[in-house]
Amino acid sequence: MPDSPDQLEFARAVLREEASALHTLADRLDDRFNAAVGLIAQCATSGGTVLVSGLGKSGLVGAKISATLASLGVPSHAVHPTEASHGDLGRFRTRDLVICLSKSGETDEVINLAAILRQDGLPIISITGGGDSPSSLERLATVPLTLGISHEAGDMPAPTSSTTATLALGDALALAAARILRFTDADFARRHPGGSLGGVLRPVMDVVRFRAGENLPLIPDALTVEQALVEARRQSVRRPGALLLIDSQSGALTGIFTDGDLRRLVLDAPDDLKKPIADCMTRSPRTLPDDAIVRDAITLFREQRQDEIPVVDRQGKPVGLLDVQDLIALRLVRD
């Protein structure tokens, strides 16, 4: 058995070959890619479905491409080419689009399916390895896309570079079509309400526990530190980890005073409790708009290490306070 260093070098070589295949694919994209994306977008806007079909490992890759399309707002299903001839042809409608996958372009089951659908007038996008002359599947396709893969990584008979390139090309098609369709984060969130993906795309106000007018004291910045603490206790039974200070006239946020600020003041300069809190607060803290999503908050926490983030409306008035513990409790960030 080869020793570990040999195995590591072999693995690195495989990954480099697959990466090289993707670079080759990127360089060879041309107007046929644009035509394929146009067909996908047209199918989606006309109420059609993108049906993806391939056999064996191409079928498995096709299922993932189909799932990606569906998650990005393009209705899609994977169809087994053999099952299609045993009743599943009923899935195909005239407004649908078909993506057929075959490395060789000569897979009988896929070619037979493409030939039937071509007769029915359905547009076909083919993804094949490509060669010196067009394959049977390429000749049947409305838009033939080729990978330009001459050999597989690792010099093994199993498909490696070709499946990686097919998967990546499918991602590129799906993302480009979603871009044309103006697919948004909000659209994605509606399709992914569960898990971490759904969590980071939720409106930030959905996870804010401390809200102005409910349990979040808003303190005029003209008060002393001591007066501000008393006023915060009067307004709320449970005080958040920071006080939000506002201009008494406009109600706009002027600063933040955290529990850490209070501890440092008590330990280092207790006489400053009599000073105006405006002299002790952090002025113009980083904030989030009230229409932000949780992903924006996570970015701010990670990049700025800010444990409390005020959420403000368009007039700069605080509407909530997001604490990092809110996101930790939802398992969206780690402590």
CATH number at 227 reads 3.10.580.10
Domain assignment of residue 197, yes or no? no
CB atoms within 10 A of CB 247: 16
Residues 168 and 208 in one domain: no
Task: Please check the confidence at residue 255 and state whether its pLDDT lies above 90.
Answer: yes
The answer to whether residues 128 and 222 belong to one domain is no
- Are the C-beta atoms of residues 69 and 76 closer than 8 Å to each other? yes
Written as six digits, the tokens of 279 are 């002299």
Task: Clarify whether residues 223 and 147 are in a common domain.
Answer: no
Q: What are phi and psi of 321, to 5 degrees?
A: -135, 120
What gap in Å lies between CA 40 and CA 181, rounded to an integer?
10
In this predicted structure, the answer to whether residue 174 has a pLDDT above a threshold of 70 is yes
- Asked if residue 335 is part of any domain, the answer here is no
* Contact call for residues 44 and 178 (beta carbons, < 8 A): no
Q: Is residue 192 part of a domain?
A: no
**Between 88 and 194, where is the model more confident?**
88
* Claim to verify: residue 8 and residue 137 sit in the same structural domain: yes
Please say which residue of 183, 218, 247 terminates a domain. Answer: 183
Which pLDDT value is given to residue 245? 93
Residue of 78, 128, 293 whose CA lies nearest to 137: 128
Cα 150 from Cα 141, distance rounded (Å): 21
Q: What is the mean pLDDT of the chain?
A: 86
Residue with the bigger pLDDT between 154 and 61: it is: 61
Residues 51 and 103 in one domain: yes
Answer yes or no: do 161 and 208 share one domain.
no
- Strand-pair category, 282-283 with 253-258: antiparallel
pLDDT at residue 330 is higher than 60:
no
135 and 214 part of one domain: no
201 versus 221: which is more confidently predicted? 221
Residues 47 and 174 in one domain: yes
Query: Based on the domain organization, do 142 and 60 belong to the same domain?
Result: yes
Residue 333 has pLDDT above 60, yes or no: no
Domain range for 134 is 4-183
The one-letter amino acid at 286 = R
**Residue 204: pLDDT above 70?**
yes
Q: Within this chain, do residues 214 and 119 fall inside the same structural domain, yes or no?
A: no
Question: Would 188 be classed as within a structural domain?
Answer: no
How many structural domains compose the chain?
2
Q: One-letter amino acid identity for 280?
A: C
Instruction: Tell me the pLDDT band of 323, cut-offs 50, 70 and 90.
Output: confident
Same domain for 132 and 11: yes
Q: Are residues 92 and 160 in the same domain?
A: yes
254 or 295: whose pLDDT is higher? Answer: 254
| Mean pLDDT, rounded, for 173-199 | 68
Q: Is the pLDDT of residue 76 over 80?
A: yes
Residue 317 covered by a domain: yes
pLDDT of residue 334: 55
